[in-house]
Chain A
Amino acid sequence: MDAQMKKGVLEMCILFKLKDQLLYGYELMKSVRQVFPDVYEGSIYTILRRLNATGYADITQMESPNGPARKYYGITQSGQDYLDQMLVEWRTVVSGAASFGITF
């Protein structure tokens, strides 16, 4: 998949996944990898950091019995707005492609 497109799609999927729950970075990376096995966790991690830096996701630290504190990611209000906007754009793209006859 094209890098830019992959970045955008992954970002959307991750935000969507965070919509109703807090998720630990590792679990999140694992679940994305199950769907997109060719994506490295490093890329997912990079996206998580970016979502946090731009304020679309926030981090809740939770103590872990062994090892350093775990970071749980959750969506923020602005992240929610951004996701809604992305979903609208995504639908436009998919329906646009469909009108060219690209269906699945």
Chain B
Amino acid sequence: MKQSEYLRELKENLETRVSPEELKDILSDYESFFVSGKEDGKNDEEISKELGSPAFLAKSLLEEHSGKVTVQQDKRITNSGRRISAYLIDMIIAVIPALIMSLVIGMGTIALPFLLFITYPSPAVGATTYISFAAFTTGTASEVTRVTTSEVKQNGENVDIVEKGINENNMGNGKQPSLITSIIAGLSLAFYLFYSFVCTLIFRGQTIGKKLLHIKVRRSNTALVGSGAIFCREFLGKTLINSIPIIPLISFFTILFTKEHQALHDMLGDTIVSDV
């Protein structure tokens, strides 16, 4: 191993675990060992072999540390209340387009964005409901009802009248949505599903809710999150896996009771949420 490699590896092993002054001190010591080794006529390879692997040295130094003062690095883990507040803000933000849809364009009722809101922890559940409701307004649903009606007709006249009533009601509610309405509905649904993922990508670990509460997603070693970790946490974890309704519930408890307040999607992405 070259001197520069050795020192870099040593630095990576010790960084964030010892104080900056101490790190500088250790690195300067090891630099001088390399210099002295070269004065003895040894090359980088021989010297680094004698010095032992940087990982071993780091381990030995850190063991020494833990013996006395536990220099527990402060990760500034966010408390559960603050996290949940940020989450509530994001829940509201995620359904805003759908809410505008129902208020301004008049698609569906106010119950729909509300349903999306309460199913936000398992977004696919809300999304499926939303889509099936959208199908109602396209006329496909009325056709289905009409088929049912004719089938029922063979069975009995009385039922037929009731069914017809329902059918007419459906027709009354379900205005044929224009193409534009469908597109906007699709977009607001996409926003609902991907807002958190995309926002976290753009702001490198923050959604609007997290920004407002000054908290941030980080790697579990406090480094900045990369796109891979965000993909695992936000998309695989929060959008896909959380759509199994029991998962967010488990996460709720792991946030409350684990040491680093990690949700299951945090464990998946190897992330933590910490104060900025």
Contacts and interface: CB of A to CB of B under 8 A. Distances in A.
Interface of A: 24-27, 29, 33, 40-43, 45-46, 49-50, 64, 66-71
A7 B173 CA distance: 83
Contacts of A40: 51-52, 56-57, 60
Contact of A42 (B31, B32, B36, B51): B51
A66 B60 CA distance: 28
B35 A67 contact: yes
Contacts of A70: 32, 36
A42 B52 contact: yes
Contacts of B37: 26
A50 B29 contact: no
Interface in B7-59: 26, 28-29, 31-37, 39, 50-52, 56-57
B251 to A, nearest CB: 41
B276 interface: no
Interface of B is mostly: helix
16 contacts: A26-B36, A27-B36, A40-B57, A42-B51, A42-B57, A45-B57, A45-B61, A46-B60, A46-B63, A49-B64, A64-B35, A67-B32, A67-B34, A67-B36, A68-B28, A68-B32
B21 to A, nearest CB: 13
Interface in B45-100: 50-52, 56-57, 60-61, 63-64
Nearest to B27: A68
A24 B60 contact: no
Contact of B29 (A43, A66, A71): A71
Given A33-B50, A68-B28, A43 B36 contact: no
Contacts of B39: 66
Given A67-B34, A68-B35, 4 more contacts: A24-B36, A25-B29, A42-B61, A70-B36
Contact of B64 (A25, A50, A64, A71): A50
Contact of A66 (B26, B35, B57): B35
Nearest to B22: A49
Contacts of B57: 40, 42, 45-46
Contact of A25 (B33, B56, B60, B63): B33
A41 B64 CA distance: 15
B56 A42 contact: yes
Contacts of A43: 52, 60
Q: From B29, B34, B37, name the one whose CB has the most chain A CB atoms within 10 angstroms.
A: B29
Nearest to B68: A53
A23 B82 CA distance: 55
Contact of B31 (A24, A50, A67): A67
B61 A68 contact: no
Contacts of B36: 24, 26-27, 67, 70
Contacts of B28: 68-69
A27 B36 CA distance: 9
A49 B61 contact: yes
In the A-B complex, the 6 residue pairs with the smallest Cβ-Cβ separation, listed nearest first, are: A67-B35, A42-B57, A40-B52, A26-B36, A42-B52, A68-B28
A24 B40 CA distance: 14
